[in-house]
Amino acid sequence: MECRNVNKQIVLPVFYDIDPSSVRHQKGPFKKAFARHELKYQGNNLKVQNWRSALKNAAGLSGYVSSHFGNDSELIDIIVKDVSLRLNVIRPSPSESKGLEEKYIPVQEKPLSKRKVFVVLDDVGTLEQLKHLVTEGICWGPGSRVIVTSKYKQALATIGGLLHEMLEVKELDFEESLKLFSLNAFKKSHPERGYEELSKRLVAYAKGLPLVLKVLGLRLCSRDIEAWENTLRKLERHPSPPIRDVLRISYDGLDGGRRQIFLDITYFFERKRKDQVMSLHYANGIFGDCGIKGLLNKGLISVSNDNMIRMPDMIQEMGWEIVCREWNKNTEQRWHWEKLVLQYDQVRSRDPVVLFGTEYRPVVTED
């Protein structure tokens, strides 16, 4: 807001899963937050008051309210279009000697064509994605570099001349695998005494895949030798078990509540906000906080810096197999997932929903 007032810059507020009135009047989570700030900054009321004023003024600006859109894609699309229109307002370019005709150029062309950028595109799934992100309508500045990761070699090969170099990520060798496994199982780079042979046998099943090594290590961390031997017995039932079967061991070790949260995330909540997932689970009598921590500790999910729940591809594929099986044979489980989806939609629309004769009220997180 200072930049707006001093530098005359444009501010476009986005009210994501929050009502503008809560920001303007500092209600709900803002009320709690400011109570904490006032305690923390006693003797410096001006700082807190400036924050209050900034939020109040920001809420008075014309912006975007996520609940007014059907989904996040629509919200992002309209923001991008609006910002692009504002950036494309033409302005006169400086002329070197008098008498030359003034030229007008779009504001956005100048910085993009001259700026050196470093871009990383992770887990690109299709050629269309790659073309749209790298080759269409974007003029990178000299010296720019783009790194792309993909499971689909063909998607990279088809861009031909734009590709400077293609590298294939190899599996870890045995020594590297044992070190990564030990870091997760023992919190140090080598196995504990008495666990050396068990560790080597388990590492052999991971086939050099970092995710599998991590999940196995976390599964057995702080467990006794009997638990390690039981895990090995499950793996040795088949001479060369599929990787999903190795990952399945961690799922089998979950209690009922954590299994349910894992399947809920697989079914619908992957790439959703952690606080929303926890709130909906609490509303349905499931202690989401403990469950999510348990899944994090076992390496089955992660939480990004922007508080979004993520699930590795191989683990999600394993989860989908379980979800499909439960969907086909368990009507109660299917209703549970349908209810969660409707409840999630109502969290954002702020309206109650009636499902199977029961009214469900929106779940509003306070913190």
Q: Which domain holds residue 164?
A: 108-169
339 vs 123: CA distance, rounded Å? 31
Spatial distance between the Cα atoms of 28 and 282, rounded to a whole number of angstroms: 18
Q: Please indicate, yes or no, whether residues 247 and 260 belong to a single structural domain of this protein.
A: no
Contact criterion met (CB below 8 Å) for 171 and 158: no
d(CA 182, CA 172): 14
pLDDT computed for residue 311 by the predictor: 87
275/308 same-domain check: yes
137 and 117 in a common domain:
yes
Quick one: 220 and 246 in the same domain?
yes
192 inside domain? yes
Q: Which residues pair with 42 in a beta bridge?
A: none
207 domain-assigned: yes
200 and 280 belong to one structural domain: no
CA dist., res. 322 & res. 267, Å (int): 10
Domain harbouring 36, CATH code? 3.40.50.10140
Closest CA to 141 of 108, 119, 120, 111: 111
Contacts of 300 (CB under 8 A, 6+ apart): 215, 250, 251, 262, 311, 315
Report d(CA 5, CA 98) in Å as an integer.
Answer: 35
Residue 74, in any domain of the structure: no
Q: Does this model's pTM top 0.85?
A: no
Co-location of 277 and 242 in the same domain? no
Give the side-chain half-sphere CA count within 13 A for 125: 1
Compute the mean pLDDT over every residue in the chain, rounded to the nearest whole number. 80
Domain termination site, one of 213, 231, 251:
251
DSSP symbol at 273 = B
Domain identity same for 216 and 288:
no
DSSP state for residue 65 in the 8-state scheme:
E
Residue at 83 is within a domain? no
Q: Does one domain contain both 287 and 338?
A: yes
pLDDT digits (tens, 9 = 90+) for 4-43: 999 888 899 999 988 899 899 998 888 888 988 888 888 8
In a domain, 316, yes or no: yes
CATH number at residue 356: 1.10.10
Q: So what's the pLDDT on residue 106?
A: 46
Whole-angstrom Cα distance, residue 235 to residue 243? Answer: 10
C-alpha to C-alpha distance for 221 and 187, rounded to whole angstroms: 8
Question: Could you list the pLDDT tens digit for every one of the 367 residues in the chain?
Answer: 999 999 888 899 999 988 899 899 998 888 888 988 888 888 888 889 999 999 999 999 989 999 898 888 889 999 988 887 877 654 444 444 734 444 444 444 445 556 677 888 887 777 777 777 666 556 677 788 888 888 777 767 666 566 778 888 888 999 999 999 999 999 999 999 999 999 999 998 888 889 889 999 998 998 999 999 998 888 887 766 778 778 888 888 888 888 888 998 888 888 888 887 887 777 666 765 678 888 888 888 888 877 889 888 888 888 888 888 888 888 888 888 888 777 777 655 555 544 444 454 544 444 3
Q: Outline where 254-312 has alpha helix (H).
A: 256-264, 274-283, 288-297
Instruction: Give the pLDDT of residue 103.
Output: 44
Q: Are residues 287 and 343 in the same domain?
A: yes
- Please check whether residues 245 and 330 belong to one and the same domain: no
* Residues 288 and 339 occupy one common structural domain: yes
Q: Residue 299 burial by CB count (10 A; 0-12/13-18/19+): exposed, middle or buried?
A: buried
Q: Is residue 81 domain-resident? A: no
Q: How many CB atoms lie within 10 A of CB 52?
A: 15
The answer to whether residue 100 is domain-embedded is: no
Q: Is residue 94 part of a domain?
A: no
Question: Which tokens is 14 given?
Answer: 């986005």
Structural domains counted in the chain: 4
DSSP letter (8 states) at residue 191: P
- Looking at residue 364, what is its pLDDT? 45
pLDDT in tens, 195-237: 999 999 999 888 888 988 999 999 899 899 999 999 888 888 7
Q: Are residues 228 and 260 in the same domain?
A: no
